[in-house]
């Protein structure tokens, strides 16, 4: 017997769609996904820049329940990924559950249920809230003096302006994270002049990209085990496990292997010794999120491309002035300057039981019990929330495992045996303490700047092995939770 419950899911990106499909599959029909944007897709809706590609193999960046035969390449372009999510929404019949252009501004627990306020002032309520609000969507736009005086086009990489002509123009790209590297690679042959402003060099992991042929796609269509061989195969999973063991043990042979691959890539790919030194980081590989690329070093050596390693002084009407006085005339400036990754569901106000307030709880750093739940916030769950695994692997897989964890926690509520569930304060405090201690020893904490770090420089990530995560999600420790 299951009790009818109302669910509200916040966000129709990858993990919100997952929640909707799983709810529907579980026979729930009383739920709404509130989406602040006009369409689904989360980060794959927001990012449309030239060169946008997911650096997880396409067949591994899918839901376990929705394999997809149609990918054009081993690493899929962003537009195809967005189209895949659209297809999943339709194939699994969850589109009618989504309310677009509807931002959730507050969630308040009234002792019985969650009162949810929407941007237009309307209200809704739910027994259970799933915050699937994403990580990388609050853009980081540094304040460059004179920015507003720029006579050309200037925009953040996640606010791409399609009306701006790039071919034959002088383009400056500020930032060389995964985004900046992909944009520069895509524009190297298009711009008349391309300046890549690099504040810190990046290690680049070489990977092979290749297109799938019509025959390949027909074979995937005809026989799903061919997709499974990639999606579930040792090549991908062996790599994930080695990568994760390297992250948590910077002295491991697996980390040595990553460092060797990146160093050799730099030595063998960049021919000019002066450029090679410009591109050589002084921190350890994988300290920042590792960049996977099959062609950035070639792009960096293209005739039209220059790497600028000086410090930007200001933006002037005709271009960028460096601290040393050098001036770069530009028609277009792209700010590939990343995201405020510590925001999560904020600025939505979330107030739990007995005065619990998310802003107060997250004053020092965002946190969540096993990245999913919070003490004082009954029946409130996050997918891809703070302290979850991050790295060069599929966050779809991570969200699916988190959903399985949540599904176990709410079983007694669905069965009508209790009304609420939340982690205990003590259990969460213990998790936080152990996590922070372990995180300091990971490669992410080995001495570099990155969006993985909290304001104290501690990695805000899952610091244990992938298998420990699988184990934790598969069997929640019941004594860490209270059911009301």
Which residues in this chain contact ligand NAP in the complex, by CB under 6 A? Answer: 53-55, 136, 142, 174-180, 182, 199-200, 289, 312, 336-339, 449, 451
10 Å CB burial of residue 106 (0-12, 13-18, 19+) is middle
The span from the CA of 283 to the CA of 443, in Å, is: 10
Q: Peptide bond before 110: cis, by omega within 30 degrees of 0?
A: no
Residue 119 vs 230, nearer CB to ligand NAP? 230
Of 480, 381, 473, 474, nearest in space to 430 by CA: 480
Residue 18 vs 184, nearer CB to ligand NAP? 184
The span from the CA of 288 to the CA of 279, in Å, is: 15
10 Å CB burial of residue 155 (0-12, 13-18, 19+) is middle
Q: Provide the minimum distance between the beta carbon of 415 and ligand NAP in the complex, in angstroms, as a whole number.
A: 38
Residue 53 vs 420, nearer CB to ligand NAP? 53
Q: Provide the minimum distance between the beta carbon of 335 and ligand NAP in the complex, in angstroms, as a whole number.
A: 8
Q: Provide the minimum distance between the beta carbon of 56 and ligand NAP in the complex, in angstroms, as a whole number.
A: 6
Q: Which residues pair with 206 in a beta bridge?
A: 293
Q: Provide the minimum distance between the beta carbon of 271 and ligand NAP in the complex, in angstroms, as a whole number.
A: 23
Q: Provide the minimum distance between the beta carbon of 15 and ligand NAP in the complex, in angstroms, as a whole number.
A: 15
Spell out a b/e string for 259-290, using b for 16 or more CB atoms within 10 Å of the CB, else e: bebbeebbeebbeeeebeebbebebbbbbbbb
Q: How many CB atoms lie within 10 A of CB 341?
A: 21
Residue 180 vs 378, nearer CB to ligand NAP? 180
- In order of 193, 277, 350, 416, 432, the CA distances from 330 in angstroms are 9, 26, 44, 64, 47
Spell out a b/e string for 371-409, using b for 16 or more CB atoms within 10 Å of the CB, else e: bbbbbbbbbbbbbbbbbbbbbbbbbbbbbbbbbebbeeb
Of 82, 113, 84, 97, nearest in space to 28 by CA: 97
User: Tokens standing for 95?
Assistant: 């589109």
Residue 28 vs 295, nearer CB to ligand NAP? 295
Residue 180 vs 388, nearer CB to ligand NAP? 180
Q: Provide the minimum distance between the beta carbon of 292 and ligand NAP in the complex, in angstroms, as a whole number.
A: 7
- In order of 241, 247, 389, 405, the CA distances from 465 in angstroms are 8, 9, 9, 17
Q: Provide the minimum distance between the beta carbon of 466 and ligand NAP in the complex, in angstroms, as a whole number.
A: 17
Q: Provide the minimum distance between the beta carbon of 45 and ligand NAP in the complex, in angstroms, as a whole number.
A: 14
Of 290, 289, 267, 287, nearest in space to 279 by CA: 267
Helices (H), 424-465: 425-440
Q: Provide the minimum distance between the beta carbon of 451 and ligand NAP in the complex, in angstroms, as a whole number.
A: 4
Residue 178 vs 269, nearer CB to ligand NAP? 178
Q: Provide the minimum distance between the beta carbon of 368 and ligand NAP in the complex, in angstroms, as a whole number.
A: 19
Which uninterrupted H or E stretch holds 423?
strand 421-423
Residue 142 vs 484, nearer CB to ligand NAP? 142
Q: Provide the minimum distance between the beta carbon of 365 and ligand NAP in the complex, in angstroms, as a whole number.
A: 17
Residue 257 vs 342, nearer CB to ligand NAP? 342
Sequence-distant (6+) residues with CB within 8 A of 322 are: 308, 310, 311, 312, 313, 328
- The length of the chain is 484
Residue 52 vs 254, nearer CB to ligand NAP? 52
Residue of minimal Cβ distance to ligand NAP: 177
Residue 57 vs 423, nearer CB to ligand NAP? 57
Q: Provide the minimum distance between the beta carbon of 60 and ligand NAP in the complex, in angstroms, as a whole number.
A: 12
Of 171, 197, 200, 198, nearest in space to 186 by CA: 171
Residue 178 vs 265, nearer CB to ligand NAP? 178
């Amino acid at each position: 017997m299951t009790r009818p419950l109302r669910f509200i899911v916040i966000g129709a990106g990858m993990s919100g769609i997952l929640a909707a499909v799983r709810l529907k599959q579980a026979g729930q029909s009383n739920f709404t996904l509130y989406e602040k944007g006009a369409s689904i897709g989360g980060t794959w809706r927001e990012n449309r820049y030239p060169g946008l590609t997911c650096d997880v193999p396409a067949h591994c960046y899918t839901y376990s329940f929705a394999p997809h035969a149609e990918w054009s390449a081993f690493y899929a372009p962003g537009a195809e990924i967005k189209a895949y999510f659209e297809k999943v929404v339709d194939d699994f019949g969850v589109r009618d559950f989504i309310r677009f252009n509807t931002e959730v501004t507050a969630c308040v627990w009234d002792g019985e249920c969650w009162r949810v306020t929407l941007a237009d002032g309307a209200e809704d309520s739910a027994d259970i809230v799933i915050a699937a609000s994403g990580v990388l969507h609050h853009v980081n736009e540094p304040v460059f003096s004179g920015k507003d005086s720029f006579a050309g086009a200037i925009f953040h990489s996640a606010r791409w302006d399609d009306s701006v002509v790039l071919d034959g123009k002088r383009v400056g790209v500020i930032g060389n994270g995964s985004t900046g590297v992909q944009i520069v690679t895509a524009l190297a042959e298009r711009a008349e002049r391309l300046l890549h402003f690099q504040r810190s060099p990046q290690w680049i992991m070489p990977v092979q990209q290749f297109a799938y042929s019509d025959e390949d796609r027909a074979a995937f269509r005809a026989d799903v085990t061919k997709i499974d061989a990639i999606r579930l195969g040792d090549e991908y999973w062996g790599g994930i496990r080695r990568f994760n063991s390297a992250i948590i043990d910077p002295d491991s042979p697996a980390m040595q292997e990553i460092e060797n691959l990146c160093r050799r890539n730099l030595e063998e790919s960049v021919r000019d010794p002066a450029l090679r030194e410009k591109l050589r980081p002084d921190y350890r590989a994988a300290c920042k999120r590792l960049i996977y690329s099959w062609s950035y070093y070639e792009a960096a050596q293209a005739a039209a491309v220059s790497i600028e390693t000086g410090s930007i002084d200001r933006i002037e009407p005709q271009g960028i002035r460096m601290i040393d006085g050098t001036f770069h005339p530009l028609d277009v400036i792209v700010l590939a300057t990343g995201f405020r990754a510590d925001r999560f569901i904020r600025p939505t106000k979330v107030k739990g039981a007995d005065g619990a307030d998310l802003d107060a709880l997250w004053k020092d750093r965002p946190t969540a019990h096993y990245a999913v739940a919070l003490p004082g916030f009954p029946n409130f769950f996050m997918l891809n929330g703070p302290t979850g695994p991050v790295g060069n692997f599929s966050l779809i897989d991570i969200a699916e495992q988190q959903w399985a964890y949540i599904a176990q926690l709410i079983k007694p509520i669905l069965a009508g045996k209790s009304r609420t569930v939340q982690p205990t304060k003590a259990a969460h405090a213990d998790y936080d303490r152990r996590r922070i201690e372990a995180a300091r020893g990971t490669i992410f904490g080995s001495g570099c700047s990155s969006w993985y770090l909290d304001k104290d420089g501690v990695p805000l990530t899952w610091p244990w092995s992938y298998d420990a995560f699988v184990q934790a999600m598969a069997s929640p420790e019941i004594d860490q939770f209270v059911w009301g």
